């Protein structure tokens, strides 16, 4: 998918990805309808897989501003679309792998994948800054 529609798709997928892990956290934590009165309290008290899924969703939300800013700035500075899309999809793939590693409790591999996911928006920023 090329052009601005590809950029929009990448941003939408990145924004929706944390909710996948939220659903895992709630389903594995035994979330019931009555727990919806205070879901953050409920998620804070979970353990095991549910707690790790909650941590993934929190970290995924935390990384979104950097990613979205990098994508939009690169688009604004007219960085080639193929380059933005390549790094954008790489970020998404790394974030999915990061989540899987977190759920599987593979801490060292998770940290390595987190670093690679962080490099994608940082590299976009570096290229964008060089265009100024």
Number of domains composing the chain: 1
What are the backbone dihedrals phi and psi of residue 79, each rounded to the nearest 5 degrees, phi first? Answer: -65, 145
Name the phi and psi angles at 109, rounded to 5. Answer: -60, -40
Q: What is the dihedral of CA 69, 70, 76, 82, to 10 degrees?
A: -140
d(CA 20, CA 53): 9
Tell me what pLDDT residue 43 has: 83
* Domain that includes residue 32, residue range: 3-130
Residues 28-47 have pLDDT tens digits of 877 664 566 777 888 888 88
Which pLDDT belongs to residue 31? 64
129 touches 84 (CB < 8 A): no
CB 117, CB 94: distance < 8 Å? yes
Q: What is the pLDDT of residues 108-120, one digit of tens each?
A: 999 999 999 999 9
Instruction: State pLDDT tens for residues 36-84.
Output: 677 788 888 888 999 999 999 999 999 999 999 999 999 999 999 999 9
Which CATH number do you get for residue 117? 1.20.120.550
């Amino acid at each position: 998918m090329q052009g601005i529609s590809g950029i929009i798709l990448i941003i939408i997928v990145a924004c929706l990805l944390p909710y996948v892990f939220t659903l895992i956290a709630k389903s594995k934590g035994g979330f019931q309808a009555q727990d919806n009165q205070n879901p953050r309290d409920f998620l804070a008290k979970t353990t095991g897989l549910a707690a790790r899924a909650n941590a993934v969703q929190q970290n995924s939300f935390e990384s979104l501003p950097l990613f979205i800013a990098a994508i939009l700035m690169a688009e604004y500075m007219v960085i080639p679309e193929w380059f933005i899309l390549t790094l954008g999809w790489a970020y998404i793939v790394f974030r999915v792998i990061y989540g899987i590693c977190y759920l599987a409790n593979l801490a060292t591999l998770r940290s390595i994948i987190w670093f690679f996911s962080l490099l994608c928006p940082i590299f976009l920023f570096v290229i964008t800054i060089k265009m100024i």
